[in-house]
A and B are shown apart, each in its own frame.
Chain A
Amino acid sequence: AQSVTQLGSHVSVSEGALVLLRCNYSSSVPPYLFWYVQYPNQGLQLLLKYTTGATLVKGINGFEAEFKKSETSFHLTKPSAHMSDAAEYFCAVSLDSNYQLIWGAGTKLIIKP
């Protein structure tokens, strides 16, 4: 069965520092991988996705993620945090269709001035 683990329910970084949000998955076959972001009092929106091809994918707002099959990971990074990045970030995986997403528990990103 598929599962998604996001390490750290809360991550705090200083403005301008590197952002690293961790996501590991378990799957018997290579999955499709997604990061969604949820700003306060809003719904989720797609940040980036990996389906096939290049393992380093770039998303909106300067975020990127790298699919590492050997590590079963899809960590999200941004070189320099901005106050507007404060939000909750969700990793999700799917094997076979858009709707059968398995969601991680979410990581709340806190940006310190």
Chain B
Amino acid sequence: DAGVIQSPRHEVTEMGQEVTLRCKPISGHNSLFWYRQTMMRGLELLIYFNNNVPIDDSGMPEDRFSAKMPNASFSTLKIQPSEPRDSAVYFCASTVDRDSYNSPLHFGNGTRLTVT
């Protein structure tokens, strides 16, 4: 079990540039989550997919943020254009069954995004 894989681990970009974060969930997991972590706001759920379909994107802060899950093994979170306030650690997490408490969330190691 390779775990949830995120890339890149670190991303430094200039304001206005497009940023794409990538996530490969654990094989067999059918729910995928994107979180953002900052000192000021803690952990925030951005969007949640079930069986590759976006279910709840109410946490996506602005239209500059978009997420896709073209298949069960890959998801992207895109920010275009990026702004300094987007600087944060972005986590992807997956779980076998969103409705079962016997199925914990498995987090990737995160992407640390710095927008200058």
Q: Enumerate chain A interface residues (CB-CB to B < 8 A).
A: 32, 34, 36, 41-46, 49, 51, 90, 94, 97-99, 101, 103-106
In the complex the two chains form, is A103's CB within 8 Å of B43's CB?
Answer: yes
Tell me if B109 counts as interface (CB < 8 A to partner A).
yes
- B:78-111 near A, CB below 8 Å: 91, 93, 95, 97-101, 103-110
Tell me if B77 counts as interface (CB < 8 A to partner A).
no
In the complex the two chains form, is A43's CB within 8 Å of B93's CB?
Answer: yes
In the complex the two chains form, is B107's CB within 8 Å of A98's CB?
Answer: no
Q: Enumerate chain B interface residues (CB-CB to A < 8 A).
A: 4, 31, 33, 42-43, 45, 48, 56, 91, 93, 95, 97-101, 103-110
In the complex the two chains form, is B109's CB within 8 Å of A42's CB?
Answer: yes
- 21 pairs across A/B with beta carbons < 8 Å? A32-B101, A34-B104, A36-B105, A41-B109, A42-B109, A43-B4, A43-B93, A43-B109, A44-B107, A45-B106, A46-B104, A46-B105, A49-B101, A97-B99, A98-B100, A99-B33, A99-B45, A99-B95, A101-B45, A105-B42, A106-B43
In the complex the two chains form, is B101's CB within 8 Å of A98's CB?
Answer: yes
B4: chain A residues within 8 A (beta carbon) = 43
Q: Across the two chains, which residue of chain B brings its CB closest to A48?
A: B104
Q: Across the two chains, which residue of chain B brings its CB closest to A106?
A: B42
Give, as a whole number of angstroms, the nearest-CB distance from A2 to chain B: 14
A43: chain B residues within 8 A (beta carbon) = 4, 91, 93, 106-110
Q: Across the two chains, which residue of chain A brings its CB closest to B50?
A: A99
